[in-house]
Amino acid sequence: MEFGQIDMPHFDKHFTYVEANALIPRMREIFLQIGSLIEETRKSLNFPVLQAETFTPGRSNGKQKFPPLDREEILKQINDLITEVTDQGIVVQDITRGLIDFPSFIEGEEVFLCYELNDGDAIKYYHGLNNGYAGRKPIPSSWQ
């Protein structure tokens, strides 16, 4: 870096540890809902189609099952949930794991506060922008 050059942040929105942790309950809800929608999609692939003769028109005779949401509706719902996350400035890394990154700064370095559903109710790790999940380090105790 040349003298006088300022290292510009990569992200417009940055979260403090407290701000990011305050969003974890909603993020958990969102990714658990996405997981349910994905599971519903998997089940719908095996949904038995009833033949017209299996029930009398206007009556189900106890045999009719209503199909789950169609795939397009499920994809729309998943997309809407992901948009809710990304519109807040959170980076989605893996929807099935609920893996997300919150841009932040630690000791002047731009980093990601890294969270996934298996981490529980709080953010426990961070990593550099170019280190990824494998480079996760524990959040400094001074932040907790």
Q: Are 113 and 104 in contact (CB under 8 A)?
A: yes
Return the SS3 of 44.
helix
pTM over 0.75: yes
One pLDDT digit (tens) per residue for the chain, 144 residues: 444 444 677 888 999 999 999 999 999 999 999 999 988 877 766 655 444 444 444 444 455 455 556 778 888 999 999 999 999 999 999 999 999 999 999 888 999 999 999 999 999 999 999 998 999 999 988 776
Distances (CA, A) of 68 to 30, 48, 81, 143: 20, 11, 19, 45
